Amino acid sequence: MKIIRYVMIWFLPLIVIGGLFFPYLGFLVLGMMLFFLPLSFYKGRYWCSNVCPRGSFLDIILAKISLNRPFPKVFVKQPFRWAVFFRL
């Protein structure tokens, strides 16, 4: 399964950069979400943790450059979360 994660890393930059020149590429993301949503009822987070291009990119690339600092406590508090949710 690790090989497919390294292959999927390249789809995130492809979709982000390719979407600047070919906006219809964004429909690929919508199609993947609609296709894999029913799969989540049977396999749980299989797509997100194993095959998703964004998840693979975050797990493999950003984990290497992360500073591994603790998460600021203000971001976890309920008022801040609601403010972000409603964009106050």
Domain range for residue 43? 2-86
Residue 11's pLDDT is 84
- Whether 88 shows a pLDDT value over 70: the answer reads no
Report how far residue 4's alpha carbon sits from residue 42's, in angstroms, rounded to the nearest whole number.
Answer: 21
DSSP labels, the chain: -HHHHHHHTTHHHHHHHHHHH-GGGHHHHHHHHHHHHHHHHHHTTHIIIII-HHHHHIIIIIHHH---PPPPGGGTSHHHHHHHHHT-
Tokens at residue 67, please?
Answer: 């500073």
Residue 1's pLDDT is 60
Tens digits of per-residue pLDDT, 4-49?
Answer: 888 888 888 888 898 889 888 888 888 888 887 887 787 777 777 7
Report how far residue 47's alpha carbon sits from residue 61's, in angstroms, rounded to the nearest whole number.
Answer: 18
* pTM (two decimals): 0.56
